[in-house]
Amino acid sequence: MSADTIALNKAMTKFDRHDSVWLFGYGSLIFKADFPFIERRPAHIVGWSRRFWQGSHDHRGTPHAPGRVVTLIQDDGATCAGMAYLITPEVFDHLDYREKNGYLRLSTDIIFEDHSSAEGLVYIATEENAAFLGPASECEIARQIAGAQGPSGRNADYLLGLAVALRELGKEDTHVFEIERHLQLLNAINQDA
């Protein structure tokens, strides 16, 4: 079930009057910036863990066969690595549409590699949204990802793109890399069959 959050995000006006604002990306926003930006910098946020717990009915799956994409789960002491983009508020309409299936704009502190920080925004799909799938084993998640495809392409390409982007940043993410490992095992089994 999809959960259109465009109207809710438009009501978040905190940054609307700013000339620019930092956006933190932790999923496909790391490797697929299909919007104009002023600057791009590796960064992280604290107190959150990346998890493939959000359903994708509109990009990497369908309503009948949803894919799985990442969201953030509160996790005291955790650090989530990603990419920060300095954008203008004019980009919000595009991002609100792109992240419409359950993601809400939230304010967060973004920490850059030089240890400086800035208040910015992040899109998070909380467990209250209708598209939230919740936890599953990495093997089960890989199985669902292997069979999902939507208007934006194969769900597996999203997972693999994220894993490559994290390695290029030199960042470790056990959850993502374990799902990737299971997906590769499934692909090897299917090729042998």
Alpha helices, H only, the chain: 6-10, 28-31, 92-98, 138-146, 155-169, 174-192
Known active-site residue 99: yes
Pairing label, strands 104-112, 39-56: antiparallel
Write the DSSP symbol of residue 123: E
CA 163 to chain centroid, in Å, comes to: 12
- Of 39, 99, 128, 178, which one is the catalytic site residue? 99
Helix (H/G/I), strand (E/B), else coil: 91? helix
Contact 122, 72 (CB under 8 A): yes
Q: Token pair for residue 88?
A: 């203008």
Q: How far is it, in rounded angstroms, from Cα 62 to Cα 149?
A: 7
> Active-site residues: which are they?
99
